[in-house]
Chain A
C-alpha cells in the first residue's frame, strides 16, 4: 500500500485519519451491528453457536445486520456477551446470549427496533436517558481500566479499530523524541514488572541499553499459572496494544530483535498476534524505517511448548535456544547476557501493554493511579467461588475485601468466605482476617503471599486448605525442571506428606517436617519456581493449622472435601418416596431403593463425586455429607428387592 510521508507523527496522523473514517463509516452504517465476544472464554461459553443462531435468525426473518467478532470484556460470568449497535439506540450490552436468545433479539429488536429486550440487557455502553449504563454497576464503577480499556470493544483483528482509538500515537511520539526519552518516561513512571516480581521495567531497560551489542526484547506470554488468564485476554482482545508496547520497549533499549513467546496452549492468541504483526508491517509500523524514523525492527512469534518454569527468564531463554527450559545461575543477568549471549530484556504482556498509555499520558498521570511505590493498575483474574468471576482491573492499593466483596459480588450462593489464594502456585492462601491487606507488590510480600501473575482464587467453606496445598505442591513438583536437588526432591516429599494427611494417614510430627523441608527448598533453589513453591504450604500451615490438626488427630476434613475422610448418605426423613433423581445421575450405580421405597447409598460403590447432592431436588435436599465417614447414622436401611429376590429364587 502507498505510504504517507513526513515525520512519524504526521505519518501516523494520516494513518489514524484513514482508520477513523473507516470506523466511522461502520458506526454510521444504517445496518445494525452485532458484536460477539469471541475470545477463548467466550467461545467456551458458546459464542460461536450464538453467532450461528444470529445468522440463522437474520436469514429467517429477512433482517439485515452485520456480525462482528470482538475480544473479551473480562466479564466472564455473563458470557456469551453481545453488543448491539442499532441506529437510534446507544450501543447495548447483553449477557448470556445463546442461539435461542439470539433469535428473540432478532425478532423483537433487530427487525424493527421495537423492543430492546430489557430482560437480557446489562446496560448501555454510553450514558443514555432511557437505559441503565454500565457505570451504574459496582463491577464497572470501581474498576479503573487503563490496560483493558479497549478489550472487548474493538475488533482485535482489524488494526483500524486500534488506530481510530488513538493507537500507535505513543509510538509516533516516541519515534520523534527518541528512545532515550521513552526510557526516561517509563523510568519516571516507576512502572514495575507485572509478571509478578515487580522489578522496575525502566531500570532493567537501562542496564541493557548500557551494553554495546545487538539487544533483544522478548514479550513473555508464557502464562503458565493455573488460574490466571489475563495475558491471554490481552493478546487475544487487544494485540496491537501489546505490540505497540513491545516496539516502544525495543526503541527504548535500542533493540535489533524482538520476539513474542506465547504458550502453545493459546492457539488463538498466537493466530491473532501473527495477524496483528502482519497488519502493522503493512502500515510501516513495523519493519524497515518505521514511519520514516530510521528505526528498524522485525518481530517474530515463538510458541512455548508448555513448561511452567519457562516463565523464568533464564529458562525461557534456554528454551528459545532449543534446549530444555532450565534456569541458570544469575549473574550474568539476561539484561547483560541473555539470548545467544546478547543483552536480552524480557517483559510480561501486561507490563508492555501499560507502556503505550504511559507514553501517551505522561508519567505524572501514571503516578496519580495506584500507590506511591506501586503506581498504576493491577489486573486480576478473579475465579473460584465468587458471584461475578472474570478479569478485573483496579488501581494498586485497593484492599482484597473491596475487590472480592464490592467489585466481584462476594462469595457465591451466600456461603462464607474462607480464603483468598493469590499469586498461583508461588503465592499464598490468605485468611479472612487479612482481607484488609492492600493489593500492591510490597504489602502482599509482607503477609507471605505475592502478586504473582495476578491469579485470585476465591475459596469458600467447602474448600479444604490442606488439599489446596497438596494440589499446588503436586503442580510445582510436576513442573520442577529437576536441576536443583531441593526443588526436585523437596517438593516430592512435601507432596507425599500432604497426600498422606489428606487421606487420613498423617502424623503430627510431620507438620514440623513440612516446615523444615519448605525452608530448605526456599534456600536451596536457583529460580523463583523453587524459591516460592513452598509458599502455599507455609501460608496454609500458618493460617489454617487447625485444619491440618483436624485431618491428623480426628481424621476429619472440616471442609468435607478430602474424599477418603468424607462420606455421603441420604437422610431417609427428607428423602421423597418414588423420586429417582439421584439414581439416574449416579455414575457408579451406587444408589439403591430401600424397603420403604426411599433411596440409600451403597458405600462400597460410592466414589463420592457429589453428583447426587446437585441432583436431589431442593425441596427435599436429602443428601448429607459427613466427615469422618463414621458419622453416618444407622437408619436401618434394607434394600427393597432383597426379600422379593429371595422369594423368586425359591
Chain B
C-alpha cells in the first residue's frame, strides 16, 4: 500500500470542508492535510474536528503557497504520492484511486485531472470559454497541449513533488506547475475526472477578469523579472 497524502488548501471553506474530509475518510484516506490560509472563519476548527491534520498560515499567502506548504509537510512525513484536492467539494474523492493509478503503475510522475476527457462535467458556458483560453495560453506559454490546464485535482509522485517548486503564491500556480513539468521533463499523463459545479463552488471559483490578471502575472515572472 502506498502512502498517499491528500493536500487541501482552504480559505474560508467552513461550509464545505467537513464534508470533503469525511468523503475522503470514507474512501480510506488517512493522511489528510488541510492548509488553512488564515481564514477568518472556523475552517481550521471544522477541519480538525473532521480529523484532518491542520497546518495554519499565520497570514494569508494564497492558494499556491498553501499547496506548497501542504506538499512540503507531506514530503517531510514520508508521503509517496501526493494528491492535490479542492476544499469546496467540486472534486470526487472516489476518483482519487483513478488519478493515482498511473503513478502507482510507474507510468507517470504527475497525473493531471481533466474535466474535458471522457467523463462529463456540467461546465458552465462562460467557464468553458475561459478554460479553453487557458488551454491555449498554456500551449503558447509552456508549449504543452493539455485538455484541461486549470484543474486543481492532480497527483504527484514523491519525486515529482520534490522537483516541482511552486513559487507563485497566488492563483498562477496551476500554470506554473505545468510549466515546470515541461521544463524538468517530468513524465505526466491526464486522467479524466468530474468536476461538480454547485452555486457554491462557482462563487468561490475564479472570475474571467481574474484570469487576465493571472496571465499577466505569469508573463511578468517568466520573462520580465
Partners in one complex: no
